[in-house]
Every structure is written in C-alpha cells, then in structure tokens.
Structure 1
C-alpha cells in the first residue's frame, strides 16, 4: 500500500460521459492492485500482482492511465508492464523519483523485492541486476509493503521479515543503484522484535530525517520511529516503539501521515470477536510527536467508524491541504452481500465531515462483485483517487480497479470507462468463459475458443478469433462479427462460431464490418442460408474463399429457413438522419451512421463503431463506446467568424480508437493554421483544431474537442487524405471503414467494399466485385481490359450497389466519348430480360478480341447519364484535398 499526493498542477481531465470507475485487465487472469502513484503530468500508476498461468506464479505488474482514466497505450505494452523478478512476486509499494523513474517494492520468492522502471515502462538496467533487486532479511518469509525515496536519493523499503520463530518489523535501505546501504542498520537491514508477530505496512519520512513505520504488533497497533542510521529513536514511545491498544480484540495500523505540527495520524482497522463472528471497523488515532495519544482527537485520541453495519477495513490514509482526513479501504454491505470500495472523511478533530457523502461516508460498487480498496491519493484540484482490485462478476476474475471522486464524495463522471449503459466483459487470448447478468453488457472474447453467455440483458456478443459458442440469454441481443476470419471454415476444417439461442423476433446479427451486400447464393459478396437435413442447424455462409482458403460461415442452432432477412441481419450500418431542425439522434449497440443535416444537433453513437456527421449548424457529437469516426464534410459545417462561434464539439474523443475525417476539406495537415494547415491549440479543458484562413464570407474552419489532447492527435487519428487500401496479384478482399478511402484491387478476382465513406473503388485487372457501401462512391476504371468480355467468356466487373444520383462511374481514362449504340467510341446501356442486371458495353473489340463491359446489379435503364458517368472530359475543376476530381462532360 502506498499513498501519495501531487504537487504542482496536472492537466484537466477530459470531460466525458463516464462512470467514474475503471477496471483494467492486465494479463487475462487475476490481477490485484495494492499501490498507486500520481505523476506530475496527471498520469496515474497502479501497481500490484498478476497471475501467470504458464508459470503458475504471480508477477509484478504496473499500468499507467491517462488523467481521464483511460489506458496510456504509449506506456509499456499498450499501457501495461509485467515483470518477473524471480519466483512468485508482486508489488505492494510504489514511489516516483524526481527524475521520473518508477520504483516498485514488494516480495520476490519470499524476499524483499524491488524494481526500477524508466518513465516509458522499460526496466532501468542501472538499478540492481537488470533493473531488479532482491534482499533476504532473515532467511525465511520476507515481504516489503511500503516504499519511500529519501531526499538524498536513497530508497527505503519497509515490511516484515520472518526470524524463524515469528515476524518482525523490517526495513532495508538501498543506495540509488540498488545496492544495500551498509551505513543503515546492520549492513543495510534493520529488524525489530517486540516479542510476538510484527507486521509493517506503512512508512513516512520526517523532515529531520527520522523514519516512521506503522503496522501490527501482536494484537495492537505498532508504531516505531528510527533515527536516520536505522537505530530506534529512544525519544519516541517506549524506547522507539509505541504499542497502542485502542479497545479492539485486534487493532491494526495500515497507513500513517504527518501533520504540519509534528503530530502523527494513523489509520487502519480494529475488530472484535463476538461468538464465532468478527466485526471490523475503520479506526484512526492521532499521536503527539513523542508517540503518546493525543486526547484532543476523537474520543481520547481515537476515532472508530462503522461504515454500513458490516465489516470495514481501512488501508490508506491521506491528509488534505485543508486539514481534513481521508481514510479508505473496503466495507461489507449486508444489503448487497458483497464488499465495496469505501472512503470516510473526518474533520481535523476526528468527527465525521457531513459535507462528504452526506454523512462523511461513501461506498462504491465497482463491478457488482467483491471490491477492495488499498491505495488513496488526492489530486491538486481536490479530487480523490482510490485504487485496488475489483472482482468482475461477469468474467469471474479480479482486475486492477480505480475510482475518482469529486471533493464532495460523488463519482467524477469525467473519469474512467464511458457511461453508455453498457458494461464491458473482456476475455483473454486463451479459452474464456464470459458470463453476463441482468445488465446491458458488451462481451468480447478476443482469441481462443470462448464461451459467451449474455445473461438477461440486451447484450452485444463478439467472440473474436477462435471457434466460439455464443448465447445471448434473455433480452434483445446483438451478435457482432468484426472480421471474416473470426468465424470461418476451410476445405477441411471448421472454425465457425455457433449461436445457441438466436431469437429472430428480437435478436440481430451485425455483419456490417464484413462487406457482404446481402443474402444470395453465397457468391458475389452475398451470404447463403442453408439448413442441415435434420433441421437442427442453420448456416450463414459464403462460398468465396480468401487467399488462405478461409470462407466466412456462422452456425445457428435451429431451423431459421425463411426467418432471416434485413430485420435480423445487418449488412450495412443503419442510417439515422436528422432534419433542418435541432435533432437528437441516439444510436444503439450496432455500428450506425448518424447524419444531423441542418440545425444545432446532438448526436450520440452509443455502442458500435459509428460514423457521426453533424452537418451544418453548431452540433454536439458523442461517439460512445467503439471506434468511432467523426466526419466533417464541408468547412462551413464547423466554423467561426470574427463575431460568432458555430464550431462543432466532440464530447468524448478517444485518440487511441476514434478518428476525425477531414479528407473532404483540403487541409494538408497540422501546422500554424495558415497555408492550408490546421493549428492544434489547447485552452483550459478544450482542444481546438482551427484554421486562420477565412472564406469570402469570413468563415474559418474550427472544431472543438473536450479535454487536453495535446500530443495525442496525429496522422493516426486525423485523416487529411483518403486512406489507400491496396490489393495484390492474388484474389483480395478489401473492406473499407467509415472513412473516405481509395481501394485498388490490382490483379486477381477481387472483392472491394468501401464501407460507409465517400470512397474510390478500382478493381484493376481480373473479374472484380465492387460494392461502394454507403456514401457517395466513385467506381473507377483505369484500363479497358480491366473489365471486359470476349466472344466466349466474361471478365466483366460487377457493381453491386450503384446508387444513381449519388454514386458515379469514372471512365475518363478509357477514351469513350459518351453513351450511344456501343460503336464508334460510345457505350451502350442494356438491361437483361429479368431486369436484374444493367450492362455498360462496347461492341468494338481490341486486337485480342476483348470488348469493354461492366455489369450493374439492378435495372438502371434511363438512370445512367453524363452526371453518373464521367467520360473523357478535358476540363477539371480545382482539386481540393483528396476529393476525386470533378469532370465536366
């Protein structure tokens, strides 16, 4: 356990619609956090233990969060560091050096253990052996529980060591390089026996260099004070020791803090035994500088607090700048039947502060499981952080957990996981069993052959890679597939996911990320529905394999023949469209396209990987969970003038997942806001992307993002040009996203699907299948032989979803003059007898007998004109950014 406060200022957190809580799964198995540290830039470090099933041991683990509670993916391995010191090990204490390096202390194979990391999470090889130190105290079971860095750079570790008969208070002091400081105690070690078991938990340094340590001595609170050389300070307590019985059957000190007047606050818990039951309560005492009880505090120097009638354990104590006292830990709530994080705040005299939580007490349920708080910190702005471990009732595992409270004890909803009403239940790379309950949940299986059961809520289930078993349970559930290879079969083996309880009356299957155009015969970008002979299973399948022989397939238990259509199967993101008024558009768990049109609109994507385009007006955009794309289609859609602000505002931009599509605006990148660039500017709790170049009406582009995102916006999340997706000489599947993209198939019989953006699709050579998806798409043909037929065979490309009036076909490189009878350089338009295919064709062959031809699914007789088809036109409009050139025909 370690307590810390920040000096100086930290960035303001990103205002977000969040829960105030964050769970972090470090290694896919049980993770326990016991220590926390705050960095000067607002970063939050959580340290503890993570289980490694391969070694069947625990390792030391550390995560870093940004100021808003999200993982800092630039630290360690995507925000996480796991270190094997040797044997079973873990961290109980954390401290920051002045140079930004990070020290962790705990145990390693029954010895004191410490590691030092660089600021990026890598081991500091200048410390100990390869960044690690282990110290045997007395040849038996030793564990460090607290850590402090002296002003001279020397490092103190405090805890307990076993002398062969019982445990003793134990400390060691290391030099800055990790070697034992032989000027301290006996060769760098100091142990103190008071006749029974002594366990050390907390550590503090006085300004005069003396050292205070608190813990348990027998059945009482034990506090010792040492001189700087490691000897007991005879001026404190009884020969350097203050042993305090405060009335409990057993009293334990877990944390201490020094007051400006030299008095000492100790926090912990006390418990009594009544029959076969233990009853714990938070306890605090205040000592005078000489170790005697200060009777001016609480009741004769002691304050005992029962939180909610159950068992309470106080583990971390912090003194606020105003003199008020925080003690945090965990409490059993009889009405919930589980332990929750708990915090109390006392006035300086030991009475409860009614301005905190209404009665001086706050409890917080992290994940509807068993939660334990161990480390407390107060930020300079008065907000309160409490970290520990939370048992995720859905996954059944313990995760690192942290909450942030406002100064009044309410949860800070600018911090932590997004509050879209959906709880995340996340698996590992192994074979997981993820179980939901009555809440709305997003169950993500990742790799492995997973079993997902949503329980009773309206859940979203995504098995990820592997052969997964999916049960939605009660409620209207969404089964989502994010990649074709996540559920597939080959010529010889099946890796298809299985949906156990699909209800066509309320459940849906989200296939919108896969690029299929709809139901059909399983070819040309469609999916076939097949039922086995026994009527016990229904298959959704494609017969088109990728380069590795994989073809998409998913299995549903039961006979769904005739029951699957666009009501249950989502092939393209649904559109929610606004009007000229001020609209509120709210999405669902699926991926959707939200377009606000005119008016001052509010768009909220909720779950799913959504596209949000506010259109004209001063719009407020919230993506919710998922990897969202915020698209600005025109500069005037988000702008300001010299006197008026009409800029859109993005409320919850996540730079690690979300993107902003600026590709239609013609800006070249970030810069000073001049010369076609955008300036990134932070002011208070907002980040601005702005141009200083106004149009003829005095409008200059600007967009605001909530939070300080300095240093976190770059070409990875700001799209200034359409992103290219390129195929190979093989048969490729190129599937776009919600952004504007350029898809080029090269050789092979390719399948191109643009997704939701305004895309350019060029199949190249081969018999290609092209689907633009939503948006205004351009189908480009660069050579006549790229789409043709001969007298005996067709190599014509097929466009699946051409939308007249929105999409266009670019033939400007081919030399045709326009529509006609298919001769003398013209193209004929022909519709087949059934009205299912429209052909653009030439009847003039080249030297190899090839004549140009394209097939469009559907009847476009009378709908194809010079507006829809770009022929060889000599004049081009000015090119803005990456938008395809307009051609005047």
Structure 2
C-alpha cells in the first residue's frame, strides 16, 4: 500500500516531535513506541486500531482532507517502530465518523462507523467499507441502523454488525444487529424490543457470537437466533466483552457500586465477578484477551485513559493511567506480540491529535 507516500517524511517528523511532548506527561512504562499524528493541524479524532498478519498496525481515525471539507476516514499504516509507511483518506459526501477497524485472515481491512452525518448533530447512517490487502475498494456499504459500534468478521468473511437506532421523538435507543455477506449485502437484521445499544461483540470458533448490550447479555448463532440471553438489573450496564482462547467470556461495565467485570462460560453461566477500583466518571469501552489468556480492560474516565490487566481468574495484575494536560480519550486497543498492546487515543485539544502507543504489560 503506497498511497499518501509524499506525506510520510513530514508526518513522521511531526509524529516524533509530538511524541516527545506526550512522553513527558505519560508515566514511565515499557513502551515500544509513542507517536502523535497531526494531519495538517486539522481535527483528528476517534477510530480504531488493528494488527495485520505481518505485524503492521492499521489505525483508523476521522479527519479532513482540506480546510472547509467534510470529515472522512483517515487510515494510517504503521510499522513495528510506529513509523507511518502509508496513509489514505476515504469517505462519502457528508461527514464520516470512524468507530472501528478490523483485519480479516486474508489481510483485508474493514472500517465502520457513521456516514452521511453532519458533525454538529452526528445524525447519519451506519456505514462499513472493505478494502483488499492492497487498499483497493471491495465495497462501501450503508447499514440500516444509525451507528455501527462494533462488528466481527467470520472465517467465511460474513460480517455481523452491532449498533443501534435512535427514536428522535422519545430520545430512546433500539439495539440492532445486521449480518452481511462477504460482498456487503444484507443477509438479515434484528431490531430488539429492549431499549439500549449493542456495544460490543465477541465470537468463538464455532460461529456463536456474544453481545454486551447494557443490562442485557446474549449469545446468538450465525442465523441470528438466540442461544441464551440474560436480562440483568437496570443498575448494570455492560459495555464491552471479549473471549480468550479457553472460551472464557469477560463482560465489563458499570454497576451500582462502580466499574466491574464478570466472567461467564459459553453457556451463559457466571464464573466470577470482580470489582475494579475506578471511581471517576466514565466506562470500560474495550476488552481484549492476550496470548497468556489474561484480559486487558480499558476506558476513558474524566478525560484520562485507564488500563486494567486482569488474569483469567479475575485477579488484577496491574492498573495504569494515562493523562495529558489537555485531556485524552481512548479510541481502541489491540493485542500485538508477546503480551504487548497497542493503543489508539485522541488528545483533546481544540484541534484533536491522534496518539498511538505500544507497550508491554
């Protein structure tokens, strides 16, 4: 992928200079790299991060191509040292807001969020596009929900999309799932009677997918039929889920006493529940599992990023906090090699910057 090559030298120089400022404020950790990306002093924010089979990181954000233009998706390819080796901007007519990026086993790139939005209101339509390994477009598909919050790609390249639709009159949200085939065509969709959002998905090798939807957690098969579901107390809000190689599910979010995590088996039976000592306002936004079967939970709390490393039994191995004078927000994180994680964040300046760092746990 070579698009945007004429920008690489100046971007990398700026990335290193911005990183020097950031490292002064960050805690001392086992960093592989810290980089800061500023696209021509435009507002860069949000998105996701994922690792390709060759170890390259793909970072997705929202940015502008020029002053006065709409927001588009901005994709960056980083090598193992955090050096940008390519970048491209892709989007539609109105603002495009990126929430998630994922890489398939075939090294294809999937990006999802909202398209057709106006940035001040963010009212738009769910959106997902797919690129081949060289960055060429395979499909660019609008999804019949208001926003894509997460998605999983199955081994056969079918895609399950999670998000919500909003009733503007009642200001309520309806949880939604949509399944696409490998070419981006809708196979089926579900709009559930409960209120809320489907925040996060995790899937296993058999094709069962597990969902965190506030006070509702559930498992569905590939045809969209429930395998099991649990409706929890209204004080509980699960916003993230992931599964490790031992088929242990961990859900995380908030309950009446604060941030917590719970483990379940694949049949929906609870194994343990563990409180997490975070008292600030915010929520767990992401969970990933590591090769040693442990879990990393992360979220934004009072404009700071909290990262909690938990073992498979629910014990807390470490807790880390990352802050900047202007504030910082988590975008996403992904597992890399040797129990390292790569984190994408937004520095909350008047014109936000994209921060990417990779560290050991």
TM class, shorter-length: 0.5 to 0.7
Which residue of 323, 336, 339 maps to 2:207? 323
Tell me if structure 2 keeps the 8 A contact 1:268–1:282: yes
Which residue of 99, 107, 117 maps to 1:201? 99
Tell me if structure 2 keeps the 8 A contact 1:269–1:283: yes
1:243 aligns with 2:148: no
Which residue of 248, 251, 255 maps to 1:386? 251
Q: Which whole-Å deviations, capped at 9, do the CAs of 1:228-265 have from their partners, x for residues lacking one?
A: 343x42xx33xxx111225xxxx211112111222111
Q: Which whole-Å deviations, capped at 9, do the CAs of 1:17-41 have from their partners, x for residues lacking one?
A: xxxxxxxxxxxxxxxxxxxxxxxxx
Q: Distance in 1 between matches of 2:147 and 2:78?
A: 27
1:350 aligns with 2:224: yes
Change (3 A) 1:363 1:142: farther
> For 1:46-57, what aligned pairs fall within 5 Å after superposition?
none
Count the aligned residue pairs: 256
Q: Distance in 2 between matches of 1:162 and 1:85?
A: 23
Tell me if structure 1 keeps the 8 A contact 2:259–2:277: no
1:256 aligns with 2:151: yes
1:143 aligns with 2:45: yes
* SS of residue paired to 1:416: strand
1:280 aligns with 2:173: yes
Q: Distance in 1 between matches of 2:191 and 2:204?
A: 20
Tell me if structure 1 keeps the 8 A contact 2:105–2:155: no
2:265 match: 406
1:179 aligns with 2:72: no
Tell me if structure 1 keeps the 8 A contact 2:260–2:274: no
Which residue of 89, 112, 125 maps to 1:220? 125
* SS of residue paired to 1:253: strand
Tell me if structure 2 keeps the 8 A contact 1:345–1:361: no
Tell me if structure 2 keeps the 8 A contact 1:254–1:316: yes
Tell me if structure 2 keeps the 8 A contact 1:386–1:403: yes
Change (3 A) 1:123 1:400: farther
* SS of residue paired to 2:213: strand
What is the CA-CA distance between 1:142 and the residue it aligns to?
1.4
Q: Distance in 1 between matches of 2:79 and 2:278?
A: 42
Q: Distance in 2 between matches of 1:267 and 1:426?
A: 27
1:210 match: 108
Change (3 A) 1:350 1:138: farther
Q: Distance in 1 between matches of 2:158 and 2:30?
A: 38
1:133 aligns with 2:26: no
* SS of residue paired to 1:409: coil
Q: Distance in 1 between matches of 2:92 and 2:279?
A: 48
Q: Which whole-Å deviations, capped at 9, do the CAs of 1:674-722 have from their partners, x for residues lacking one?
A: xxxxxxxxxxxxxxxxxxxxxxxxxxxxxxxxxxxxxxxxxxxxxxxxx
* SS of residue paired to 1:203: strand
Farther off after superposition, 321-330 or 152-161: 321-330
What is the CA-CA distance between 1:211 and the residue it aligns to?
0.5
Q: Distance in 2 between matches of 1:258 and 1:166?
A: 29
Q: Distance in 2 between matches of 1:252 and 1:258?
A: 17
Could you say which structure has the greater relative contact order, defined with CA pairs below 8 angstroms and 6 or more residues apart? 2
> For 1:652-691, what aligned pairs fall within 5 Å after superposition?
none
Question: How large is the RMSD of aligned CA atoms in angstroms?
Answer: 3.4
1:692 match: none
What is the CA-CA distance between 1:156 and the residue it aligns to?
0.9
Q: Distance in 1 between matches of 2:278 and 2:102?
A: 39
* SS of residue paired to 2:268: coil
Tell me if structure 2 keeps the 8 A contact 1:169–1:191: yes
What is the CA-CA distance between 1:323 and the residue it aligns to?
1.6
* SS of residue paired to 1:312: coil
Change (3 A) 1:87 1:400: farther
Tell me if structure 2 keeps the 8 A contact 1:137–1:189: no
What is the CA-CA distance between 1:135 and the residue it aligns to?
0.8
Q: Which whole-Å deviations, capped at 9, do the CAs of 1:645-670 have from their partners, x for residues lacking one?
A: xxxxxxx9x999xxxxxxxxxxxxxx
Tell me if structure 1 keeps the 8 A contact 2:259–2:278: no
Q: Distance in 2 between matches of 1:143 and 1:225?
A: 21
1:363 match: 232
Q: Distance in 1 between matches of 2:196 and 2:222?
A: 21
Change (3 A) 1:227 1:351: same
Q: Distance in 2 between matches of 1:253 and 1:655?
A: 31
Change (3 A) 1:427 1:152: closer
Larger radius of gyration: 1
Q: Distance in 2 between matches of 1:259 and 1:427?
A: 37
Tell me if structure 1 keeps the 8 A contact 2:176–2:190: yes
* SS of residue paired to 1:139: coil
Q: Distance in 2 between matches of 1:350 and 1:655?
A: 35
Change (3 A) 1:284 1:425: closer
Which residue of 168, 171, 187 maps to 2:72? 168
1:416 match: 274
* SS of residue paired to 1:313: coil
Tell me if structure 2 keeps the 8 A contact 1:254–1:267: yes
Q: Distance in 2 between matches of 1:136 and 1:655?
A: 35
Change (3 A) 1:346 1:220: same
What is the CA-CA distance between 1:411 and the residue it aligns to?
2.8
Greater strand fraction, Structure 1 or Structure 2: 2
What is the CA-CA distance between 1:408 and the residue it aligns to?
3.1
Q: Distance in 2 between matches of 1:306 and 1:406?
A: 26
What is the CA-CA distance between 1:176 and the residue it aligns to?
0.7
1:270 aligns with 2:165: yes
2:120 match: none
* SS of residue paired to 2:223: coil
Q: Distance in 2 between matches of 1:208 and 1:377?
A: 22
* SS of residue paired to 1:306: coil
TM-score normalized by structure 1? 0.27
Q: Distance in 2 between matches of 1:318 and 1:215?
A: 18
Greater helix fraction, Structure 1 or Structure 2: 2
Tell me if structure 1 keeps the 8 A contact 2:259–2:279: no
Q: Which whole-Å deviations, capped at 9, do the CAs of 1:460-517 have from their partners, x for residues lacking one?
A: xxxxxxxxxxxxxxxxxxxxxxxxxxxxxxxxxxxxxxxxxxxxxxxxxxxxxxxxxx
What is the CA-CA distance between 1:177 and the residue it aligns to?
0.5
What is the CA-CA distance between 1:387 and the residue it aligns to?
2.5
Tell me if structure 2 keeps the 8 A contact 1:306–1:312: no
